Amino acid sequence: MKTKILTLLLVGMISAMSNAQKSDKTTFDHTFAHVVYFWFKNPDSQDARDTFEASLTKFLNKSQYAKTKFIGKPPKAIRDVVDDSFTYSLILSFESAEDQAAYQDEAPHKVFIKECEDLWEKVIVYDSQGIEQ
């Protein structure tokens, strides 16, 4: 009986730890946000889009600093205040400004830029530090 109880407790603890680790990777960290908008030279090129998506995904999967990751494309704007002129957006969160600075120097980040910089004509970055709530 004691063995069954200990086994159940152990399984429960492992499950809880696993769920905690999963939520750490999917919960947006409000400490530091990095938002990037890309405008392609040829936004209608499927080859350019395929190259960009593959390279960006490969980079983000290797990043040791980016906590949460979102790659997006603009939906068709239905309101005048919505800017849908960009080709892709990237939203990342970091545990600190220092982590975001380190991310800039990561080898995978530099490879991504080298592989894709000829695809875009304009890039705008918005960095934000979270406020206390």
Assigned domain for 7 exists: no
Question: What pTM was computed for the model?
Answer: 0.76
β-pairing, 120-129 with 88-94?
unpaired
Phi, psi of 86 (to 5 degrees): -80, 165
Sheet holding 88-94, edge to edge: 68-72, 88-94, 32-40, 120-129
Q: Is 57 among the domain residues?
A: yes
Report the percent of the chain where pLDDT is more than 90: 65
Q: Is residue 23 part of a domain?
A: no
What total number of domains does the chain contain?
Answer: 1
**Does the residue 19 lie in any domain?**
no
Please say if the pLDDT value at position 7 is more than 70. Answer: no
Q: In this structure, what CATH number is given to the domain that contains residue 58?
A: 3.30.70.100
What is the spatial distance between Cα 104 and Cα 94, in angstroms, rounded to a whole number?
12
Parent domain of 115: 28-129
User: Looking at the predicted structure, is the pLDDT value of residue 68 above 90?
Assistant: no
**Is 36 a domain residue?**
yes
Mean pLDDT, rounded, for 38-62: 97
Q: How confident is the model at residue 26 (pLDDT cuts 50, 70, 90)?
A: low
